[in-house]
Amino acid sequence: QVQLVESGGGLVQSGGSLRLSCAASGATLRDFAIGWFRQAPGKEREWISCISTPDSITAYADSVKGRVTIFRDNTKRTVYLQMDNLKPEDTAFYHCASSPPYGRSCPGTANRYTYWGQGTQVTVSS
């Protein structure tokens, strides 16, 4: 079992940047693919990015492609989500989640993920 804790959310102006962190404990991070999801009020949860293990192959939703970078530091047991050029529509509650290894890629659907963090709020003002 792995415990995940997100941090790094906050209030930022449109065009600004944030780096979210997903810190893992209780298990070896390299044993898991990690995904990031977000949910805005009144909307369904949206997968936005993931990173595989052990090759760190990444994938991004079209809504964030080119503005978001996911990367992992297994020595620090942390996966990061660097978000640049943020827009008001990026305002949401962001969660990370872990998945068992998924071939050479990582899952793009929530039902493949087993453990979830508590989330961190990102608010982008216009």
In DSSP terms, 5 is beta-bridged to: 23
pLDDT in tens, 83-126: 999 999 999 999 999 999 998 999 999 999 999 999 999 999 99
Distance CA 99, CA 111 (A): 9
* Cα 105 off chain centre by: 15
Q: What is the pLDDT of residues 41-83, one digit of tens each?
A: 999 999 999 999 999 999 999 999 999 999 999 999 999 999 9
pLDDT level of residue 1 (50, 70, 90 thresholds): confident
At 75 the three-state DSSP class reads helix
Alpha helices in 9-91 (DSSP H): none
pLDDT at 46: 97
Query: Which amino acid is located at 115 in the chain?
Result: Y
